[in-house]
Structures are given as C-alpha cells and as structure tokens.
Homo-oligomer: A and B are copies of this chain.
C-alpha cells in the first residue's frame, strides 16, 4: 500500500530504488473510518496525509457555529492544513474522513529530514500541493455569485465521484447551504 505513494511520486519524477527505500522508512500507513477526526482544529498541524483510498474533508466552524466543509480531497491527493503546517501557527480548520479511507501519513519532522536527504522531494511535493491549491481556489471562486442549484450542478460535474461517496450533509456544507436546501434542490432536479 505504501508503494502506491512511491508510484504516485514516480509519475512526476524518476526515483531510484534506494531513494524509494529512504522514503518508505519515514512514512506510515493508516486506515480510518468515516467520521473519524484526523486533525483537530485549534492545534498546529504537523502531519500531511496522502490519500490512497477514500475522501477526506477539511472543515471549520463559521460565525454561526456551523461546521462547513472547505475542501474534499480524494485518492492521489495530499491533505494537510498548509498554513499551519508551513508556519507553525494554530489551525482554525480540522481534517475528517468523509468516508472510510486509507492514508499515507507524513510526519513533518520526518518529511523535513527527507527534504534534506532528497532535495528534489521538497520541490516535488510543494509543487504538487501548490498546484492543487490553485485548482481548489479556482473551484471555490467559480461558485461566487451562483445560486445553490448551479453550485450543486457544477459540483456534480466537477467531482462526480466524490458526490457519490460522501453524505448529503457534507455536500451541503461544502456548497454553503443547509442539507434541507440541498435535498430540495435534488428534488427539483428530477
């Protein structure tokens, strides 16, 4: 299972078997159930996850006290609270499993150690995470000023696989509406 992570990296860069072994020794595997909390808001995030299977979500409470979903992350994506991870500041966001998931866990200290030994790895991982950040922010921005039904339709088109695997209430909180509204939108669509 850990090899799926190495294989993913090899899509971008040729990694020698020796380097792969170095990496293997510094990472671990973890299985989580739907709803499980991987990182609790209010702390400094010192872990990065690579998702082998399943969907994670980044969550935070808004002013009204509702728990909103900022992002969904799925297979072959990294998941962390980057601002906290990079700058050692408290994170207002948490990380939860939106469905059963299998992960590679990258501890910050060990990752920094790897970056020292394999400098290309730093460029590779920060490049991937930055690019995925750009894509996420584009999606979020594209929802600006759209009504809820349009946001939902676009979500279905953009992330049909995620729509099938996570709960209605998670999707609603991602779209910024109540689950009742989303249920109503679904009804009107059929």
Chain A contacts to B: CB under 8 angstroms: 60, 62-64, 66, 68, 70, 82-83, 86-87, 92, 126, 130-131, 133-138, 140-142, 144-146, 150, 154, 173, 176-177
Contacts and interface: CB of A to CB of B under 8 A. Distances in A.
A6 B69 CA distance: 40
A77 to B, nearest CB: 15
A86 B134 CA distance: 10
Main SS at interface, chain A: helix
Given A140-B141, A141-B70, A141-B140, A64 B146 contact: yes
A145 B64 CA distance: 9
A-B interface, 8 closest residue pairs, ranked by CB to CB distance from nearest? A145-B176, A70-B141, A83-B134, A68-B144, A144-B176, A137-B137, A68-B145, A62-B145
A96 to B, nearest CB: 15
Contacts of A82: 134
Nearest to A154: B63
Q: How many copies does the complex hold?
A: 2
B62 A142 contact: yes
B144 A62 contact: yes
Nearest to A153: B63
A64 to B, nearest CB: 7
Contact of A134 (B64, B133, B135): B133
A126 B86 CA distance: 14
B140 A140 contact: yes
